Amino acid sequence: MKLAVGCDHAGYEAPHPYMPAIIAHLERLGHEVIHMGTHGSESVDYPDFAKLVCAAVLDGRAERGVLLCGTGIGMSIAANRHHGIRAAVCATPDMARLSREHNDANVLCLGRRILTLDLCLELANIWLETPFSGGERHCRRVEKMG
């Protein structure tokens, strides 16, 4: 799958920068990753990178997006400002699964300061593998969001 990924400086926080590890993991799984930045630990504003990732998803350069910030919250708020984006901040395997099955989430948001790296990778795996259920009530609700 083609994935657009992005983060703010939290993605490169020492001593274990998560963003490069997440990208390497996604590539190991066979995904094609477009990294929209940021690329280092210098302080930046998360809405700028949410915008780049959402644009890539909306114009078809990527099928889905993955965003990382300190909590995942700022990225999810920023991403959901973009019409057609359904961004889900996930902290448990059930949230990752249900955001796909019920909400057809097209952007996954993760929190560097909330989750272990292993949990981030597990959530990404689940989120990428889980299809939208396509159930009538879920389609209707997703359609109502435009």
Binding of residue 69 to ligand RB5 (CB under 6 A)? yes
Stretch that binds ligand RB5, among 65-73, 84-92, 97-105, 131-139 (CB under 6 A): 65-73
Q: How far from each other are the two terminal CA atoms of the chain, in whole angstroms?
A: 24
Q: Using CA atoms, how far apart are residues 75 and 139, in angstroms rounded to an integer?
A: 25
Q: Using CA atoms, how far apart are residues 98 and 121, in angstroms rounded to an integer?
A: 17
Q: Using CA atoms, how far apart are residues 58 and 9, in angstroms rounded to an integer?
A: 24
CB nearer to ligand RB5: give 17 or 70: 70
Binding of residue 104 to ligand RB5 (CB under 6 A)? no
Q: Using CA atoms, how far apart are residues 12 and 43, in angstroms rounded to an integer?
A: 10
Tokens for 106?
């097209």
Among 5, 8, 109, 121, binds ligand RB5 (CB under 6 A): 8
Which of 54, 69, 109, 120 is flagged as catalytic?
69
Q: Which residues are catalytic?
A: 69, 102
In the complex, which residues of this chain contact ligand RB5 (CB under 6 A)?
Answer: 8, 10, 46, 69-71, 73-74
